[in-house]
Amino acid sequence: MVIRMLLLLLTVLGLAPVARAKEPRPLRVLWCTGGGYHDYKGLTPYLTGKMQKYANVQFDVSTDYKAWADKGFADKYDAVVFFFSQHDPTAKPVVDNIAATIHAGKPAVFIHGSLHSFRELGPDRDPYCEAIGLTSVVHDPLRPLETKKVADSPITRFWPDDWKTPSDELYQNVKLWPNATALLTAYSQKSKKDHVVAWTNHYGQGRVFGTSLGHDRNTAGMEVYPHLLANGLLWVCGELDDNGQPRSGFGGAKAAK
């Protein structure tokens, strides 16, 4: 009775211990990588570490692309990031399963070389490209690029209007799929056209963010680049608000300072 009265008194005085709201767990994300033409071994730890400044996320890394043909390869993850370069004429089960996994609702991010992977499949690659939201088969040589914002999006609201990279590959667009929305473009000296270099997509129940930027550290080493990837990841997971800020509990180490 005495203890009960004491607790009542403490509550009235505002001194009773209050249960703290449970913080959201970090997003658990599968980072699919590997292959040639790029420094995936160096860029993977660099980018995942940098992204954690902007998003509350933990990464597991997968380098066996054939395992991505397993129907359950992404089941325990909140999202999947694809950052790889693979060429295999027998990989139709891989591309079909990636597309089906996203169509069923798994959020995904596609970066640079993943757009050109498995080009040798020809039209059999179309479901994969539709899931990405953009088809590309060739790129310009490495050169300086300047981006232009073409849509208002929380993902790119922070992005500088006059952003330039000293060197990157411009992936020429063959097709921007109907459910995709261009966010950033850059001009090709080869085709004499603007090409989409960052976009969002809806494929079935899945949300997708993609960027063709990021060949090497000339772009990846600029602080805005991992911020862009982190915002895209948060957006596909529904954890980026309309102002381009992480929802409560999903900001990274930088937001926590």
Cβ within 8 Å of residue 218, ≥6 positions away: 142, 165, 166, 167, 168
> How high is the pLDDT of residue 222?
97
pLDDT value of position 21 = 54
How many whole angstroms from its chain centre is CA 162?
22
- Is the per-residue pLDDT at 173 higher than 70? yes
How do residues 121-154 score in pLDDT, each as one tens digit? 999 999 999 999 999 999 999 999 999 999 999 9
Write out pLDDT tens, residues 89-98: 999 999 999 9
Q: Which residues, in sequence order, are CB contacts of 150 under 8 Å at separation 6+?
A: 182, 183, 184, 185, 196
Q: What is the pLDDT of residue 254?
A: 65
Dist CA 252 CA 246 (whole Å): 8
Strand bridging mode 194-203 / 206-211: antiparallel
Percent of the chain with pLDDT over 70: 90
Per-residue model confidence as pLDDT tens digits over 206-256: 999 999 999 999 999 999 999 999 999 999 999 999 999 999 999 998 654
* Count of other CB atoms within 10 angstroms of residue 230: 27
Query: Cα–Cα distance between 88 and 215 in angstroms, integer?
Result: 21
pLDDT number for residue 255 = 53
Q: Which CATH number fits domain 24-244: 3.40.50.880, 3.40.50.150, 3.30.460.80, 3.90.220.20?
A: 3.40.50.880
Ramachandran angles phi, psi of 154, nearest 5°? -60, -25
pTM: 0.90
**In whole numbers, what is the pLDDT of the chain averaged over residues?**
93
Mean pLDDT to the nearest integer, 2-24: 48
Mean pLDDT on 21-28: 83
**DSSP state at residue 169:** -
pLDDT of residue 24: 81
Q: Is the Cβ–Cβ distance between 146 and 187 less than 8 Å?
A: yes
DSSP 5: H
Specify the amino acid at residue 140: D
Contact 58, 76 (CB under 8 A): no
Instruction: Report pLDDT for 169.
Output: 98
Q: What is the largest CA-CA distance in the chain?
A: 84
Contact present, 114 and 132 (Cβ < 8 Å): yes
Closest CA to 225 of 211, 238, 240: 211
Q: Can you tell me the distance from the alpha carbon of 47 to that of 230, in angstroms, rounded to the nearest whole number?
A: 10
Q: Which two tokens stand for residue 122?
A: 């020809």
